[in-house]
């Protein structure tokens, strides 16, 4: 395994299954729209006593409590504070850590979708992955934390969809629908059960920190074993703690490495230890020129000018990640594994090595191949 440095809005459920609404907030939570100024501070604590203590002490320092939520499956309580005028984000985080040393605190961060549209006409993804045209059997449910999806799309008609909205964004958007199609659309995972969490707000700028951790908590509650995240952004102790809780519970998380370029610092959650990080390549096995590079990269997959039905040709590490997620879920043995280290060891046996022999900072271990593990029958 490589070394790695990874609100509540209106809940909407659009599903072919009924899902219990067991997530009640102590206080209503208003999504933060302007995240760039780090206006809010999110804090995670483990007990009601710690939460109450911090609320009292923060109020003495003129921090306004905007929301409180129990993340039941993660065993955490999230608090959202508006910082006082003139207090920087850095100082606010330090204040929270001083008032409650056992907490995880971070300014509200923005995690952006990692894809863009293109007008190229290439049909190569299946060949690179040795993925059969008829698709592969899904051996477990699969999750995605992303944009909203069109649950009435014909490309998703063969899947069971369980949907929950954690943002104020629309129920259906092209990016989320494209990622869902790459996971469970025609020729992908056959008759799969897809859990979809919408975390991108109405301005389509990205996902806030609170939306992400709420979605992780829900995925854990639903016992989704493999989750795809095609979002990337800054390191944040709050996200890291939530990610680590899910990993410790056995969830496998696959994430896009990000599109900020080869000289960019690592982006998260892909760069957290235990998250499977995926980069993008084109039809000639060249790495996407805007993909982030680094020691944390685990695998490569098609992600340049990839055709997605009803969406056109899309590019980005967002597009590559679901191919690796699908490869894990399509393998009867790998899908049962409950640690990323064991998944990586198993998948490495089937990869097409690219770049320098073995693992490297551009392609990771290479492209997973599915020809030996795929079962087409649903």
Looking at residue 61, what DSSP letter applies?
A: T
Query: Rounded to a whole number, what is the distance in angstroms from the first to the last CA of the chain?
Result: 32
Residue found by looking up tokens 């995925």 in the block: 219
Evaluate if residue 19 carries a pLDDT over 60. no
Q: Which of 3-7, 116-120, 164-168, 312-316 has the lowest mean pLDDT?
A: 3-7
Rounded to an integer, the average pLDDT of 290-316 is 92
Helix (H) or strand (E) holding 136: strand 136-137
pLDDT tens, residue by residue, 208-251: 899 999 999 999 999 999 999 999 999 999 999 999 999 999 99
Evaluate if residue 376 carries a pLDDT over 90. no
Question: Which residues touch 160 (CB under 8 Å, ≥6 apart)?
Answer: 16, 17, 191, 192, 193, 194
3-class secondary structure, 156: helix
Q: Model's pTM, two decimal places?
A: 0.85
Evaluate if residue 91 carries a pLDDT over 60. yes
| Distances from the Cα of 170 to the Cα of 30, 215, 225, 248, 369, angstroms | 16, 16, 26, 32, 35
Using alpha carbons, select from 91, 9, 82, 80 the residue that is nearest to residue 45: 80
**What is the Cβ-side half-sphere exposure of residue 334, based on CA atoms within 13 angstroms?**
27
Looking at residue 145, what DSSP letter applies?
A: E
Grade residue 352 by pLDDT with cuts at 50, 70 and 90. Answer: very high
Evaluate if residue 41 carries a pLDDT over 70. yes
How many other CB atoms sit within 10 Å of the CB of residue 279? 30
DSSP letter string, 180-238: HHHHHSTTSEET-EEEEEE-B-TT-S-EEHHHHHHHHHHHHHTT-SEEEE-EEB---HH
CA–CA gap between residue 281 and residue 287 (Å, rounded): 4
CA–CA gap between residue 258 and residue 278 (Å, rounded): 9
Grade residue 116 by pLDDT with cuts at 50, 70 and 90. Answer: low
Tell me what pLDDT residue 21 has.
Answer: 28
- The percentage of the chain sitting over the pLDDT mark of 90, rounded to a whole number, equals 67
Rounded to an integer, the average pLDDT of 311-318 is 90
Grade residue 122 by pLDDT with cuts at 50, 70 and 90. Answer: low
pLDDT tens, residue by residue, 245-269: 999 999 999 999 999 999 999 999 9
Rounded to an integer, the average pLDDT of 79-101 is 94
Tell me what pLDDT residue 2 has.
Answer: 44
Using alpha carbons, select from 232, 230, 216 the residue that is nearest to residue 326: 230
Give the Cα-Cα-Cα angle 123, 127, 128 (nearest 5 degrees): 105
3-class secondary structure, 251: coil
Question: Which range in 71-75, 188-192, 201-205 is most confidently predicted, on average pLDDT?
Answer: 71-75
| Distances from the Cα of 169 to the Cα of 90, 115, 148, 173, 282, angstroms | 29, 18, 7, 9, 31
Tell me what pLDDT residue 117 has.
Answer: 57
3-class secondary structure, 272: coil
């Amino acid at each position: 395994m490589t070394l790695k440095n990874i609100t509540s809005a209106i809940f909407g459920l659009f599903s072919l299954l009924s899902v219990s609404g067991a997530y009640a907030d102590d206080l209503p939570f208003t999504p933060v729209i302007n995240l760039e100024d780090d206006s809010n501070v999110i804090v995670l604590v483990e007990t009601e006593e710690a939460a109450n203590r911090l609320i009292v002490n923060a109020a003495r320092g003129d921090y306004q409590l905007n929301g409180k939520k129990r993340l039941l499956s993660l065993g955490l309580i999230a608090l959202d504070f508006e910082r006082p005028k003139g207090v920087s984000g850095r100082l606010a985080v330090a204040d929270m850590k001083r008032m409650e040393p056992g907490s995880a605190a971070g300014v509200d961060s923005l995690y952006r979708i990692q894809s863009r549209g293109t007008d190229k006409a290439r049909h190569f993804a299946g060949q690179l992955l040795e993925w059969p045209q008829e698709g592969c059997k899904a051996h477990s449910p699969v999750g995605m934390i992303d944009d909203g999806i069109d649950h009435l799309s014909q490309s998703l008609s063969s899947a069971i969809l369980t949907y929950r909205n954690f943002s104020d964004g629309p129920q259906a958007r092209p990016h989320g629908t494209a990622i869902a199609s790459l996971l469970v659309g025609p020729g992908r995972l056959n008759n799969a059960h897809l859990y979809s969490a919408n975390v991108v707000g109405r301005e389509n700028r990205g996902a806030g920190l609170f939306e992400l951790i709420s979605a992780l908590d829900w995925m854990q509650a639903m016992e989704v074993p493999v989750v795809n995240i095609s979002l990337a952004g800054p390191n944040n102790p709050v996200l890291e703690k939530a990610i680590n809780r899910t990993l410790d519970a056995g969830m496998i998380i696959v994430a896009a490495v990000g599109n900020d370029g080869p000289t960019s610092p690592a982006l998260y959650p892909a760069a957290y230890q235990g998250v499977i990080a995926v980069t993008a390549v084109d039809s000639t096995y060249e790495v996407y020129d805007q993909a982030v590079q680094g020691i944390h990269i685990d695998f490569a997959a098609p992600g340049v000018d990839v055709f997605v039905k009803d969406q056109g040709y899309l590019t980005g590490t967002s597009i590559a990640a679901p191919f690796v997620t699908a490869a894990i879920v399509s393998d009867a043995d790998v899908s049962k594994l409950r640690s990323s280290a064991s998944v990586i060891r198993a998948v490495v046996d089937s990869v097409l090595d690219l770049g320098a022999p073995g693992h490297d900072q551009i392609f990771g271990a290479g492209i997973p191949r599915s020809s030996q593990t795929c079962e087409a029958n649903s």
